[in-house]
Amino acid sequence: MQTSSDEVLISRIANGDRLAMQVLFARHHVRVYRFVLRLVRNEATAEDLISEVFLDVWRQAAKFEGRSAVSTWMLSIARFKALSALRRKPEQELDEETAAAIEDHSDDPEVTLAKKDKGAVLRECLTGLSAEHREIVDLVYYHEKSVEEVARIVGIPEATVKTRMFYARKKLSELLKERGIDRGWP
């Protein structure tokens, strides 16, 4: 239902309907923001990028062919913008942000586990995944994208989507094990 409504909005936006643009923005900007924020790890940058993403939607609406869901199309644009922004950033700044995002591992694993419940540790380990792995985990679990849609957004074959997700989950298990949680898999 929402998918077809999104398509109607896009056709109105293609005709220059500013109100339709406001509706689409209200409907999707939080998810697009979170997707971008997880990639760039900077709130101000993420806010700037979502303005650019939706400006592209405004400009390119007439070219939208409906071969994918509108949200999939927007996440593709968002991903491109985020990766371009990351390429523009100095390496040192990126490393500092990545380091800040991963919690201090100086505690003994047992102490860490005692401090926090398993869910909290799991969330921290999800944050510690590489950008490539974070991206695919978010697209599958949070943005509820199918194998085909993830392939379209990331620009990789469907078989690669499945294997990349498998290795992202495997890495997550390794991070959990380092924090004292052995899931018995893989």
Partner 1 sequence: MTSEHESAETDSIEELLPWHAAGTLSRRDAERVEAALARDPELARRYQLVREEFGATIALNESLGAPSARAMENLFAKIDADPQRRPRAMRGLGARINDFFGALPPRTLAWASVAAVIAIIAQAGFIGMMATQPAGGRFETASAPTTAPGVGAFTIIRFAPQATMDDINKFLEMNHFDVVAGPSAGGLYKVRVADRALPQAELGALTQKLQKDKLVGFVAPTR
Amino acid at 18: R
- Residue 91 CB, nearest approach to partner 1 (Å): 24
Structural contact between residues 68 and 149, judged by C-beta atoms closer than 8 angstroms: yes
User: What is the phi/psi pair of residue 66, to 5°?
Assistant: 75, 20
- Residue 131 CB, nearest approach to partner 1 (Å): 15
Amino acid at 94: L
Give the residues lining the site for partner 1 (CB under 8 A).
11, 15-18, 21-22, 25, 29-30, 33-34, 37-38, 43, 46-48, 50-51, 54-55, 58-59, 118-119, 122-123, 126-127, 137-138, 140-142, 144-147, 149, 162-163, 165-166, 169, 172, 183-185
What is the C-alpha to C-alpha distance for residues 125 and 123, in angstroms, rounded to an integer?
A: 5
- Residue 39 CB, nearest approach to partner 1 (Å): 12
- Residue 2 CB, nearest approach to partner 1 (Å): 15
Query: Between residues 92 and 143, which has the closer beta carbon with respect to partner 1?
Result: 143
Residue 151 CB contacts under 8 Å (≥ 6 apart), including other chains: 157, 158, 160, 161
Query: Between residues 89 and 183, which has the closer beta carbon with respect to partner 1?
Result: 183
Query: Between residues 43 and 92, which has the closer beta carbon with respect to partner 1?
Result: 43
Query: Between residues 90 and 144, which has the closer beta carbon with respect to partner 1?
Result: 144
Nearest alpha-carbon partner for 20 in 62, 55, 58, 65: 58
Query: Between residues 90 and 163, which has the closer beta carbon with respect to partner 1?
Result: 163
Structural contact between residues 164 and 132, judged by C-beta atoms closer than 8 angstroms: yes
- Residue 169 CB, nearest approach to partner 1 (Å): 7
Structure tokens at 173: 């298990």
Amino acid at 128: G
